[in-house]
Amino acid sequence: MADYFTHFSCLLDVGTPDKAARALALFKRLRAADQDADDPEVAGFDLVRQDAPEGSTLWIHDDDHGDVEAVIRFVLRLAEELDLTGLWGFQYALCRIRHKAYYAGIGIMPHGPPVDEKH
């Protein structure tokens, strides 16, 4: 049987310690709800608050079976709930041992109103 895995590790600064606490609380609520879900919302990654209690940075990393799409959905939800603005991105590596292939990618997501690219 092939061993497929995706690895990533990134930081997200949400601006304030209060927002970091709210983000972690949301993650824990969603993780608890995922226990009985057919389609888990926050599976495939873990979230750790850096430099708690005064830190505003979150460490997002794979949990051995990384789910890039779940990270993107979660960060977009955080952007809405915490009024985050600006750009954020991360890199990931997907390895398929059976085919000895290596894939990598990057996700960059804008937060806030659309930017007029003409100016």
Q: Is the peptide bond before 113 cis (omega within 30 degrees of 0)?
A: no
Residue 107 structural domain: 4-111
pLDDT tens per residue across span 63-106: 877 889 999 999 999 999 999 999 898 888 877 654 555 555 55
pLDDT bracket for residue 119 (50, 70, 90) = very low
- At residue 118, the pLDDT reads 45
119 within some domain:
no
pLDDT tens per residue across span 4-45: 778 899 999 999 999 999 999 999 999 999 988 888 888 899
98 within some domain:
yes
Do 104 and 92 form a contact (C-beta atoms < 8 A)? yes
Name the residue with tokens 């993780």: 31
pLDDT tens per residue across span 65-76: 788 999 999 999
38 within some domain:
yes
118 within some domain:
no
pTM across the whole model: 0.77
50 within some domain:
yes
74 within some domain:
yes
Instruction: Calculate mean pLDDT across residues 41-63.
Output: 92
- At residue 5, the pLDDT reads 76
**How many structural domains does the chain have?**
1
The CATH number given to whatever domain includes residue 84 is: 3.30.70
In terms of Cα–Cα distance, which of 84, 96, 89, 52 is closest to 71? 89
What is the share, in percent, of the chain residues with pLDDT greater than 90? 48
Instruction: Reply yes or no on whether the pLDDT at 2 is more than 80.
Output: no
117 within some domain:
no
92 within some domain:
yes
